[in-house]
Structure 1
């Protein structure tokens, strides 16, 4: 592959990453619109499923937009500053929510967007708060050690992606304990939030295709080509098998 072809391929990967981040932000914006307009159907994908909480929707909108703004490493100072501010807000929401659960206190951050709510009813789930904190931290460290073999931000993005994937898998397999807790006043990780987290996480990884771990994934070397061919089957086949087994088990009851 020539240098020109490699640059064009890298550019298309970066654009894909940006669009994925915008997709994650869009889902957050739709959820936020649902709370503002009182249309709860916009905050979930199914009746009886957990809702996307207002702080979650705001954080997803901010972190997705901030990620899209950092699609290039040479963005202007204004875009960089705005993305950092957005990441700090999201980090505050995530850490504050985790502190509320850990210490059993009400910091009133759950009532910033929605008033007259019962304490905790509009609070993001711990899994959501932790994933948002990871993404916000990743964005703050996005270009730290940019030429290193493993970038610090990638570890946080991968953690957030794993949590989102676990949540989506829980919905697919009908394993409620993976995304819903009953001992604390929360509804749980919503499916739109999990999808948004996964989109933004994937987008952030793709926006730096020639750095860190992603360099191994996007490289034209035979090993990288084999990795790209195997990663989707390695992830998807076990989930599909679990889905089939779950459906057969449910049908036999």
Structure 2
């Protein structure tokens, strides 16, 4: 079950990344270069992880990259990423990835592939629908609820010992801050929110390496790129507004 969840999260992270990249068409060349550098660092981490792992770890990484590539190809082919829906859910995807870490099984790539396929079909279906949460009080309540869920994840991880628990607790603290910022300030601090979510995304990369889960590793990298793109777009918009 949790391997299927990791595959589904990988698809959601890639779709959110594609949406964030498409929304940053007006950013400067310098910020675009930063995005390329983050992508190159992610590729290096993937190669290093695959080279240092066993044959099972390599297979898991190949399947994870296949899931991510398939999701990106479907987004480009059917233009799923043209109506941003998941780019505002980076923090929630990261929280779900952190919550699945204790149950991650790196030797079940088939389950991850099935979960990714189901998630991709679901995203394609939902992309045809038109809905949005326009009630500010409801959106604020949802962010408070998400902050509570992150607190539960952090508390559960904090009861364990080791470096992995420290990473998860730190990431959930950042996610709690992100959701509280969204609940109290709304969209007024997009740069801060994307920075906090980016820290959580990097933590997902770390736990993916620790758990030996290729799906979690690719999920974290996709989230990191998406958060960086959202931050670049927010800073560009702020610079344009200040002029």
Q: Give the TM interval when normalised to the shorter protein.
A: 0.3 to 0.5
Structure with a larger share of its residues in helix? 2
Larger radius of gyration: 1
Report the TM-score, using the length of structure 2 for normalisation: 0.32
Greater RCO structure (CA 8 Å; 6+ sep):
2
Report the TM-score, using the length of structure 1 for normalisation: 0.32
